[in-house]
Amino acid sequence: MSRFNPGSAFLIFHLRVGTRLALRILAPVLAVVFALYFLFKPEFFVFLAGVLFRESGLLILAIISATVMFFISRAASFRICSGLDGWIRHLPASASLHRRLAALAVFLAQIPVLGLLAIFAVMALWPDKSKIVRAVLELTIVGLAAAYGTIYLRKTWTASARKTPKNRVFRRTLSLPTVINWRAVGWKISFAYLLSFLPLVLTKLFVINNGWQGQTLSAAVRCGGLLSLTVFLAFEANMLAAKRPPWPWARTLPSSALRRIISDSIFLAAHASLLLLPVVLIDLRAFLPVAACLPFAAVRSARAIRQSPELRLGAAGKILLEGFLEASLVALLPWAALAFLLGLPPALINAARAEQKQKVGRWLELHHLAAGDSLSWSRE
């Protein structure tokens, strides 16, 4: 009879977890690559690879790769480490072994992005094989450092949070809905910022390559700025809908539906307003139309959160669809931003009615995979 080895069992478990996350990350990476390929052709990838690995310098390349790997590691560590303090601690393995294997799983989740950067290195440094090998090794070291760094940073934050007294005083400077929203979103919002900057970066590159000036430049920046706001609001609203779903019981509290909509809209717009700074830096004339559309988009996002249980694609799908139409319209007709600003009161009333239509006794069952449930009869 063969002897059971706990270390190999834990290794296989974390390898499967990391592989699942890598496959989930691979799908959007491939989608972005194919979209850029059809929009900008192969010359764009050659240009981007040359900028990253030949012209940017070692310091800039290290900062960019470390930032990307850190955000991916942070997003993966939340999923991988969510159950490390539960029943798994009763199994025959030390805490240090759990952390090392979790870091390995986080590193595996980075492989799709690391593979894309490695392809860029081959495109930029070919046929110098020694430089290609060195670049791939450097990317691997950065990925491992980001994985271990996020795991041990999460450990430090968890330990410091446990030392916080339970009867801490509530800060009067923040309202209770704002605190609840911030706890639901947390530092995951940094990943939303990272994705939201992509339309602005592509807009800047597109403008530079075509040498646009004047009204054409402003139209492109208006479109890119509104797309950036749309992507951010979609991700943040989806996080609120998942972590802080609309609570029909809140209607019994002494607070109106309009006030709850305004609170969520201000929370969404306050975070999204940071994306207006790159718009100012690219083209100052595009700032006012983009900023005028932000309140309307935030209110529509707050309404989409209330409808998320009924939507097949969740709140993000509805926000992305409306945002793309809004960006296209404002890019062609700048004065349409004034129409969206004037449409803010009707949008608030419509969102408040969606809040009022929620059934107070509604029960939404939470679904999860049986593979991660220790009480499940399934072994898959």
Q: What is the pLDDT of residues 92-109, one digit of tens each?
A: 667 677 777 788 888 888
Task: Give which of 301, 313, 195, 320 is closest to 240, Cα–Cα.
Answer: 301
Whether residue 234 contacts residue 323, with contact meaning beta carbons closer than 8 Å, is answered with: yes
> Look-up: residue for tokens 């410091």?
160
Task: Give which of 351, 340, 291, 341 is closest to 315, Cα–Cα.
Answer: 351
How high is the mean pLDDT in each 10-residue block of the chain (380 residues)?
A: 60 76 75 74 76 74 78 76 63 71 81 82 81 83 81 53 44 63 79 85 81 83 90 88 74 76 88 88 87 90 82 80 89 88 89 77 57 48
Q: What count of residues does the chain have? A: 380
Name all contacts of 138-146 with Cβ < 8 Å and 24+ positions apart. 138/62, 138/65, 139/65, 139/114, 140/114, 142/62, 142/65, 142/66, 142/69, 143/69, 143/107, 143/110, 143/114, 144/103, 144/107, 145/66, 145/69, 146/66, 146/69, 146/70, 146/72, 146/73, 146/106, 146/110
- Find the helix packing angle between 314-332 and 214-243, rounded to 10°: 170
Whether residue 234 contacts residue 189, with contact meaning beta carbons closer than 8 Å, is answered with: no
Task: Give which of 233, 81, 71, 72 is closest to 157, Cα–Cα.
Answer: 81
State the pLDDT at residue 188.
77
HSE at residue 348, side-chain half, CA atoms within 13 A, is 16
Cα end-to-end distance, the chain, whole Å: 24
